[in-house]
Structure 1
Amino acid sequence: MATMSMSIPFHVPNIPKPQDIYSIKPDNSNTTRFVVSQLPNELTHYPASDLVDQPPHPNKPIIKPGDLDTTPFTYVDTVQGLECLRSKLEVADEFAVDLEANNYRSFQGLTCLMQISTRTEDFVVDTLKLYHFIGQYLGAVFLDPKKRKIMHGAGNDVLWLQRDFGIFVCNLFDTMQASRVLKMERNSLAHLLVYFCGVSANKQFQTSDWRIRPLPREMLHYAREDTHYLLYIYDKMRSQLVAGCGSTEYDDPLLEVYSRSHNVCKSLYKKELFNEDSYKKLFGLGDAGLDSDQTNVAARLCKCRDRIARDKDESTGYVLPNKLLIELCQKLPRTESEFLAIAEAHNCQNHPLILDNIGELLKIIGNLDSNQNVAQIDYSKQKGMPEDANTKQSHLEMQYMYQMNRPQGYYVTAVYPQPQACYVNVVYPPGYYISAKHPELMNPVYCTVPQYYQYQIC
């Protein structure tokens, strides 16, 4: 009887957050762009030409590795196990690496698993449990230019290693880059496994929630497959590159692969910073049919969810999914019941972060009339009084106020003081306004037409 294969979704909602369990506190601030500001010397002082076949590739027959069931395997989830792994890598000339991450329940993403294979053994490292020790124990072997690392599509992996563990990779052979130089039909690891090894990998766990613990046997099997055959694939691809297979546009195809791989390693991880134009990157915004006011609501909702996501260490898509955000902008609900009816269509009516912040979200949507287009505001210039403003007081002073948290928006005031009072002439545009002279004493007042407000200063 055939056995049914299990399936793990991309999000298992009842998993305790690893950040809480293991005291993982990333810097989600919107100020520092680089986690590490410069590359280590090993990556700047070694050109790719010095790394080709270092250490020298053995001139012996290429042997396909045994099946996973016959290969020694270690699951590493203790510091003692991590130290043992380091000892084995220190005497290895080369090793294969892959990572599994979760980008949905953390703001910047979180590496959940590291797979490593040598010529004789497979290892899977629980990078959540050992988060605070990975860099200390494995950083040196990854950076060692005398050890070859084999990875597939390492672009994200080298950045995740920097972001989470401060690890840099030197001396990389990226099999995806090799497949491109060899002009292979497809560049995926799944294709290389079939082409070189005759192995059909089950990719159903590729987008699974890798935070789950303990890891089911099927997920461990999938994780091991990603590195178990990678050194053998490297052998086969290197042989073809040396023989001049694939493209004829390169004088030295093997050097081309090392050069491309080395450039991948020289990428620096950058945090994505939020600015007033970030809402323009909202997926689906261009096809949503929003008018200028609705687009401005989208900009403000994006800013609000970015702040919540950073504070709670969640992805912006988890805090407020894009499709829900856009529909809120299209329908502009005015009441909590209208809001939740829209959320229910996206299965978000019981979302804890939406329920916790529904008042603020409704306030942003309800302030449609006061919204200025943030993309058109020039912070560097003071604008003059609009022609339709009441200018009977010659000493009116136009000032732009700071952007407040609640309600979110820009405040423009015209002020003229009196001995015991501060008068505010609300000119343009309609919205919330406060006194420029004494903002700490004044509550914002919403105005829709130019008019006078008098505040008594106590």
Structure 2
Amino acid sequence: MSSALPPPTVVSDRAGLDELLMALKDERVIAVDTEADAFFSYHQKLCLVQITAGRRDWLVDPLADLDLSTLGEMLADPERVKVLHDAEFDILLLGGLHEFRLAGLFDTRVAAAVLGSANPGLANVLSARFDVQLDKSMQRSDWSKRPLSEKQIDYARLDTHYLPDLFEMLYAECEERDRLMIVESECRRLEQLRPVPTEVQPDDFVRVKGARDLNPVQRAVFKELFVLRDNLSRKSDKPTFRVISNQALLDVARRRPKDYRALTAIKGFTPRMATRMGDEVLDAVVRGLGADPIERLPRAPRKAGTLDLDEATQELHERLKRWRKKAADSLGIESAYVLNRHLLGRLAQQRPESLESLRAIEGIQGWQLRRFGDGITNVVLKFLEEESAGLLPKKRKKRLR
């Protein structure tokens, strides 16, 4: 336990949760973080919610069969500032597993980056601002196990303990340097994030590094193995890499073993694994060999936000990206905080020629219009002139993510 700090309060029953909510009743700034077990399970669970407010730290245990709906109401209250560091994961986790919505967000990672930090991760920021060292070995800890170890508790509480003070520092600095609107704009975007349910599809095998290098017969075998591994992972509630590694799966597809002896000769496929799943793996190899060879790789399934742009629109997109990079470099910030990728894609598709047409683009903020409007429209107008004159370079159509 951090020796200079009082121990956090662990909330694992209704009485403790009621006490926490009462303590938070009049707090206007509340720091929040979460821990999950994606590194240890296929079906991810919310395993811990860390909260700091009024110089006190709480660790809420969602695995203790608590009704967290009242906590969700607090998170959705826009009148209270919720301070998180790198909030996207937490927002998607809370939204996907508990349908919670976050309002009043101030993301300290965003603020640190907007202020020019080259390394805005929490460990770096806390070290620079408070001379605090986080134990990174706990990042991939199994947060579903109970009881939590002392090291886990110490790590978890430090994830939020300094955030209220960090918020005060960064808010003042952003205000002083006229960058608060950038942070607020990004935080409002983050608040709107919603998890997109995804099911693994057979053609997702092409996403595995090395799958494209297989020959057509090996691809057909690998596809069957890929589907089998996902089914085994789902049934055992283990992440896929803990069932069979990508490398072992690729080697099975390359060597196409016919028996246990050949299977266990493959590095990464142990006799114990063969006992547990050997028959199913060998059957998958047989199915793959009986299927048509995959001569042409399927296109990787479309991800949310993927754009199909024609040659001309792709050229404009590239020009806007180059302009965005220069604008970001002049401010010393990440390019995404000038224009996020979704907005960049809409600009390329809709080609605003004036501030008025730019104002109508979904997602454009007033501060972006004021600070970058002329630069954006100048890029578009120059592009349109060259397009009209037939001066655009030829490019192959591609997807953008």
What is the TM-score with the length of structure 2 in the denominator?
Answer: 0.69
1:89 aligns with 2:24: yes
CA distances 1:166-212 after superposition (whole Å, capped 9, x unpaired): 21111100011111211113111111101211212222211222222
The alpha-carbon distance between structure 1 residues 348 and 263, as it changes in their structure 2 partners (threshold 3 A), is farther
1:285 aligns with 2:211: yes
- Whether the aligned pair in 2 keeps the contact of 1:276 and 1:374 (CA below 8 Å) is no
Q: Which residue number corresponds to residue 336 of structure 1?
A: 260
Q: Which residue number corresponds to residue 231 of structure 1?
A: 164
Q: Which residue number corresponds to residue 56 of structure 2?
A: 121
**For the residues of structure 2 that align with 1:186 and 1:325, how far apart are their CA atoms?**
36
Q: Which residue number corresponds to residue 190 of structure 2?
A: 264
Aligned pairs, how many? 298
- Whether the aligned pair in 2 keeps the contact of 1:152 and 1:174 (CA below 8 Å) is yes
Q: Could you list the runs of 4 or more consecutive aligned residues of structure 1 that deviate by over 3 angstroms after TM superposition?
A: 67-72, 354-357, 373-378
Q: Which residue number corresponds to residue 250 of structure 2?
A: 326
**For the residues of structure 2 that align with 1:127 and 1:283, how far apart are their CA atoms?**
36
The alpha-carbon distance between structure 1 residues 69 and 164, as it changes in their structure 2 partners (threshold 3 A), is farther
Q: Which residues in structure 2 correspond to 1:357-376 (within 5 Å)?
A: 357-373=277-293
CA distances 1:365-416 after superposition (whole Å, capped 9, x unpaired): 13443222468699xxxxxxxxxxxxxxxxxxxxxxxxxxxxxxxxxxxxxx
Q: Which moved more, 1:119-128 or 1:225-234?
A: 119-128
Q: Which of 3, 8, 13 is residue 78 of structure 1 equivalent to?
A: 13
SS at match of 1:113: strand
Q: Which moved more, 1:227-236 or 1:319-328?
A: 319-328
SS at match of 2:272: coil
Q: Which residue number corresponds to residue 106 of structure 2?
A: 173
- Whether the aligned pair in 1 keeps the contact of 2:217 and 2:294 (CA below 8 Å) is no
**For the residues of structure 2 that align with 1:333 and 1:205, how far apart are their CA atoms?**
39
Cα offset, 1:323, TM superposition: 1.7
Q: Which residue number corresponds to residue 39 of structure 2?
A: 104
**For the residues of structure 2 that align with 1:150 and 1:370, how far apart are their CA atoms?**
55
Cα offset, 1:278, TM superposition: 0.6
Cα offset, 1:151, TM superposition: 0.4
Q: Which moved more, 1:275-284 or 1:216-225?
A: 275-284
Of Structure 1 and Structure 2, the greater strand share is in 1
Percent identity between matched residues is 27
**For the residues of structure 2 that align with 1:110 and 1:177, how far apart are their CA atoms?**
26
**For the residues of structure 2 that align with 1:171 and 1:68, how far apart are their CA atoms?**
32
- Whether the aligned pair in 2 keeps the contact of 1:75 and 1:123 (CA below 8 Å) is yes
- Whether the aligned pair in 2 keeps the contact of 1:104 and 1:317 (CA below 8 Å) is no
Cα offset, 1:312, TM superposition: 3.3
**For the residues of structure 1 that align with 2:234 and 2:16, how far apart are their CA atoms?**
33
The amino acid of 2:289's aligned partner reads D
**For the residues of structure 2 that align with 1:363 and 1:218, how far apart are their CA atoms?**
44
Q: Which residue number corresponds to residue 304 of structure 1?
A: 228
The alpha-carbon distance between structure 1 residues 284 and 108, as it changes in their structure 2 partners (threshold 3 A), is farther
Q: Which moved more, 1:190-199 or 1:98-107?
A: 98-107
**For the residues of structure 1 that align with 2:138 and 2:56, how far apart are their CA atoms?**
22
Q: Which residues in structure 2 correspond to 1:413-452 (within 5 Å)?
A: none
The alpha-carbon distance between structure 1 residues 256 and 73, as it changes in their structure 2 partners (threshold 3 A), is same
SS at match of 1:114: strand
What is the TM-score with the length of structure 1 in the denominator?
Answer: 0.61
**For the residues of structure 2 that align with 1:68 and 1:172, how far apart are their CA atoms?**
30
Cα offset, 1:306, TM superposition: 1.8
The amino acid of 1:171's aligned partner reads G
Of Structure 1 and Structure 2, the greater helix share is in 2
Task: List runs of 5+ in structure 1 lacking aligned partners.
Answer: 6-66, 245-251, 379-458
- Whether the aligned pair in 1 keeps the contact of 2:38 and 2:45 (CA below 8 Å) is yes
**For the residues of structure 1 that align with 2:295 and 2:161, how far apart are their CA atoms?**
50
The alpha-carbon distance between structure 1 residues 237 and 169, as it changes in their structure 2 partners (threshold 3 A), is same
Q: Which moved more, 1:321-330 or 1:304-313?
A: 304-313
SS at match of 1:357: helix
**For the residues of structure 2 that align with 1:375 and 1:306, how far apart are their CA atoms?**
23
The alpha-carbon distance between structure 1 residues 374 and 106, as it changes in their structure 2 partners (threshold 3 A), is farther
The alpha-carbon distance between structure 1 residues 104 and 373, as it changes in their structure 2 partners (threshold 3 A), is farther
- Whether the aligned pair in 1 keeps the contact of 2:248 and 2:269 (CA below 8 Å) is no
**For the residues of structure 2 that align with 1:207 and 1:280, how far apart are their CA atoms?**
27
Q: Which residue number corresponds to residue 176 of structure 2?
A: 243
Larger Rg: 1
1:349 aligns with 2:271: yes
CA distances 1:253-310 after superposition (whole Å, capped 9, x unpaired): 1121011012112111122222232101113434xx4211111111111112222323
RMSD: 2.3
Task: List runs of 5+ in structure 2 lacking aligned partners.
Answer: 299-401
SS at match of 1:168: coil
The alpha-carbon distance between structure 1 residues 375 and 187, as it changes in their structure 2 partners (threshold 3 A), is farther
Cα offset, 1:150, TM superposition: 0.3
